[in-house]
C-alpha cells in the first residue's frame, strides 16, 4: 500500500511578505520590508494597532505578532510600520493556491496563508517528497516573490507540526517514526489545539512536553478534559486520519467581531455596533442559504477580560432584524452597563438550510410580515452586490464614521473585491 504524502505549506510572515513583494515587484521600490525592522499593523489612532506580521529583523528586537504597536515601537523606535492591504492579501492568497494546484489537484486551504496538499503518488512527476517540496518552495519564491515553510508527513497533523519547525524558507519532515526524536521533546503548548489554558492544566499533572502527553494515561485525560483530552492525546501520538478535502467544508457557524475605535460605555452605542455586525453576519448566511437558531455574544473589556453569553431562538432565521433583536437581548443580559468595552462579537450557530418560525397571536409576527422581512433583506443584498455596500445603509448609521457593516477580515473578503496584481506576483 502506497504511503500517503501530505504537505503543509505556510507562507512566512504572509501579510508582511505579500506587502513587501508587491512593493518591490509591482511598485518598483528598492527597499524591501523584509530586510529592515518592519511590521504590518493597524492605524495607531484607532484600537486596531496590533502587530499583524513582522520582519525577521523586527523579530530580533523581540517584537511579537499580536502585541500592541506602541510596545513594538518602544522596543524599536525606528520600526517601519505599514498598514494592512487586505485586497492585496486576498489576491496574493489566490495566486498562492493556484501555484499549489500546479503540483496536485488535492489542495485544502486552511487559512488565507496556509494549505495542505496531498502529494501521494506524484513521485514520478516531481521526485521524492523532499525533492518535490524543494521544487515547490523554490517556484513560489521565484515566481511569486515570497518564501514558505513546507512540512511533510503521512497525515495532516504531523505535516502541520513539521511546517512549524525552524523558519523561514525551510522544508521539514515529520513521519511517525521521527516523532520521538523531533516532536516529543517540544513543549506541550506547541501541539495543535493546545492553548495556554490547557497547557496550564496539563502542567498540574506533570505534563510539560508533547512526549509527556503522548505517554499519559488516556483515562486521566478523559476524566479531566473530556473529549478534548482524548483528541490531544491522539494528536500527541501522531494520529490523524483526516483526508485532504479540496472543497471547503460547510461553515458550522457565522460570526464577526470588531475592536471599536473608542470604548463602548452606553447601551445605545453597543446596540449600534451589534447592528453593524449583524448586518454582515446575516448577509453571509443569506448568501450561503443558511439559517441559524443559536446566537452568541462575545465581549472584551478595556482591561482585556472576556465574557460570552448565548441563547437559543424559537426558530431558525437569517433575517437581519431578527438576529439583531436577539443579539441585543443576549447582550443586555451579559453586560453590566458599567465596564467599558473594547470589542464585541456576534455568532450564529445550529445552522439549517431552511428557515422556520413559530407564530403566535401575541408576537405580532404573521407569516405575511415574516415574508416581507425576507424580501426586504433580499432586495438590500441585491443592491449591495450590484452597487457596493455603501449604496444603502440604515438611517441609524447616517453620518457614522465607524461604518454600517463591521467585522471580518475586510470587505474585500465579504464582497470579493480584490487588488489587481500581475500573474508573476
Q: Which residues are catalytic?
A: 114
* Cis upstream peptide for 339 (omega within 30°): no
Residue 124 is given by DSSP the state H
Pairing of strands 80-82, 341-352: unpaired
Q: For the CA atoms of the chain, what is the radius of gyration?
A: 24
Burial grade of 269 (CB within 10 A; 0-12, 13-18, 19 or more): middle
Other Cβ atoms less than 10 A from the Cβ of 98: the count is 12
Cell of 136: 515547490
Amino acid at each position: 500500500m502506497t504511503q500517503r504524502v501530505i504537505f503543509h505549506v505556510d507562507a512566512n510572515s504572509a501579510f508582511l511578505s505579500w506587502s513587501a513583494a508587491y512593493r518591490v515587484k509591482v511598485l518598483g521600490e528598492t527597499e524591501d520590508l523584509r530586510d529592515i525592522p518592519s511590521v504590518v499593523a493597524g492605524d495607531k489612532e484607532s484600537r486596531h494597532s496590533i502587530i499583524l506580521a513582522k520582519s525577521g529583523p523586527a523579530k530580533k528586537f523581540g517584537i511579537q505578532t499580536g502585541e500592541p504597536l506602541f510596545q513594538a515601537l518602544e522596543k524599536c523606535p525606528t520600526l517601519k510600520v505599514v498598514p494592512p492591504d487586505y485586497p492585496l492579501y486576498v489576491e496574493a492568497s489566490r495566486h498562492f493556491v493556484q501555484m499549489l494546484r500546479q503540483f496536485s489537484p488535492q489542495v485544502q486551504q486552511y487559512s488565507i496563508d496556509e494549505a495542505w496538499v496531498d502529494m501521494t503518488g506524484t513521485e514520478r512527476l516531481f521526485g521524492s517528497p523532499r525533492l518535490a517540496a524543494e521544487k515547490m518552495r523554490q517556484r513560489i519564491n521565484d515566481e511569486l516573490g515570497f518564501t514558505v515553510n513546507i512540512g511533510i508527513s503521512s497525515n495532516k497533523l504531523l505535516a502541520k507540526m513539521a511546517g512549524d519547525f525552524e523558519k523561514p524558507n525551510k522544508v521539514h519532515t515529520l513521519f511517525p517514526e521521527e516523532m520521538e526524536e523531533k516532536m516529543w521533546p517540544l513543549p506541550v503548548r506547541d501541539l495543535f489545539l493546545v492553548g495556554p489554558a490547557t497547557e496550564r492544566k496539563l502542567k498540574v499533572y506533570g505534563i510539560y512536553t508533547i512526549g509527556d502527553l503522548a505517554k499519559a494515561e488516556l483515562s486521566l485525560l478523559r476524566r479531566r478534559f473530556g473529549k478534548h483530552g482524548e483528541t490531544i492525546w491522539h494528536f500527541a501520538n501522531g494520529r490523524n486520519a483526516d483526508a485532504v478535502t479540496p472543497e471547503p467544508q460547510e461553515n458550522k457557524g457565522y460570526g464577526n467581531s470588531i475592536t471599536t475605535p473608542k470604548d463602548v460605555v452606553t447601551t445605545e452605542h453597543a446596540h449600534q455596533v451589534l447592528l453593524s455586525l449583524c448586518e454582515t453576519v446575516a448577509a453571509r448566511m443569506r448568501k450561503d442559504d443558511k439559517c441559524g437558531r443559536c446566537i452568541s455574544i462575545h465581549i472584551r473589556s478595556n482591561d482585556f477580560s472576556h465574557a460570552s453569553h448565548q441563547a437559543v431562538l424559537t426558530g431558525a432565521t437569517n433575517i437581519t432584524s431578527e438576529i439583531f433583536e436577539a443579539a441585543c437581548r443576549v447582550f443586555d443580559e451579559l453586560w453590566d452597563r458599567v465596564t467599558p468595552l473594547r470589542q464585541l462579537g456576534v455568532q450564529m450557530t445550529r445552522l439549517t438550510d431552511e428557515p422556520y418560525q413559530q407564530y403566535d397571536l401575541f408576537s405580532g409576527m404573521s407569516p405575511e410580515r415574516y415574508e416581507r422581512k425576507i424580501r426586504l433583506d433580499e432586495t438590500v443584498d441585491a443592491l449591495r452586490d450590484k452597487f457596493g455596500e455603501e449604496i444603502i445603509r440604515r438611517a441609524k448609521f447616517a453620518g457614522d464614521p465607524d461604518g454600517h457593516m463591521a467585522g471580518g477580515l475586510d470587505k474585500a473578503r465579504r464582497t470579493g473585491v480584490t487588488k489587481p496584481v500581475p500573474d508573476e506576483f
